Amino acid sequence: MARQELARFLRDRRAGLRPHELGLPADGTPRRTPGLRREEVAELAHMSVDYYVRLEQARGPRPSPAILDGLAEALRLTPAERGHLFRLAGSAVPPGSHAVRRVRPHVARMLERLPETAAIVTDAAYGLVAWNPLARELLGEDLGHGTTNLARRRFLGEGRMYEGSSAEQFGHIVVARLRRAAARYPHDAQLETLLRELRVGSEEFRQIWDTHPVYAPGHRSKVLDHPALGRLRLNCDVLLVPEDDQEVVLITADPGSPSARTLRGLAERG
């Protein structure tokens, strides 16, 4: 536990907040320094004032995860700041209570700036939370009009998926990620429902699940058999959005290849 750094971090974040921003009433008492009072932070974090004072003075015991979450909420910390708080206290950073199923605006805007790249964003449960027009051409024109969960598409046949040489590999990738999500979000009701549907509806899913597959996001190549575009040789590269446990998948073709010309034609047509 980095007591001095933790104390400094708490003091800095407390000084950066204003009472009216948190809905605290003005009591008319002059404040010697800007920011919240220690008593106000302790009340918002549901902890004793003495305990909080000792933390700011670098002489308190290691706070529990519940105390740290209370402090993160009281100080209005961002996800990155929350993680930093836990690390300063010598604790592992726990995930949120459920998978994040919305895409950050700057990530969505990034997809729009990739005209010759098919791009999608998937959440921890393999739900599609964003995509660009080129991705819809490649993954199925019904994208957005039915289920947007790739696990349901892959194992339950809900929605059109154009897959080829990597269909089996993709199944293992999906299961590995869902296993990881189940461990990280044990109280996520939507995820629990998804896993129950997959177990009941797919023998293949059950068999792969029992093998405990492990998958690290990165680069892979595949051949996609598209009913209108023919056979496409594509590259898939994954960028992580760690604060939301999401993945940005970029689908491209080798420069100068027939598949690259097909993607460029689709982009120009769109």
The CATH number of the domain where 15 resides is what?
1.10.260.40
Q: What is the pLDDT of residues 138-175, one digit of tens each?
A: 877 777 666 689 999 899 988 766 666 577 888 999 99
CB-CB contact of 141 with 161 (8 Å): no
Q: What is the pLDDT of residues 228-237, one digit of tens each?
A: 888 899 999 9
Count how many Cα atoms sit within 13 Å of the Cα of residue 20 in the half-sphere of its side chain.
Answer: 3
- Split into its structural domains, the chain has a count of 2
Q: What is the pLDDT of residue 268?
A: 83
Q: Which residues pair with 231 in a beta bridge?
A: 225
Q: What is the pLDDT of residues 208-244, one digit of tens each?
A: 999 999 888 888 888 888 888 888 999 999 999 887 8
Do 229 and 145 share a domain, yes or no? yes
Do 121 and 230 share a domain, yes or no? yes
Distances (CA, A) of 28 to 31, 39, 49, 237: 9, 16, 21, 57
Structure tokens at 261: 């010309």
Tell me the C-alpha distance between 215 and 47, whole Å: 41
Look up the domain containing 265 and give its range. 105-269
- Average per-residue pLDDT in the chain? 86
- Is there a domain that residue 63 lies in? yes
Do 243 and 168 share a domain, yes or no? yes
- In percent, the amount of the chain with pLDDT more than 70 equals 88
pTM reported for the whole predicted model: 0.68
Do 77 and 124 share a domain, yes or no? no
Q: What is the pLDDT of residue 161?
A: 64
- Is there a domain that residue 96 lies in? no
Q: What is the pLDDT of residues 32-71, one digit of tens each?
A: 667 888 998 999 999 999 999 999 999 988 999 889 989 9
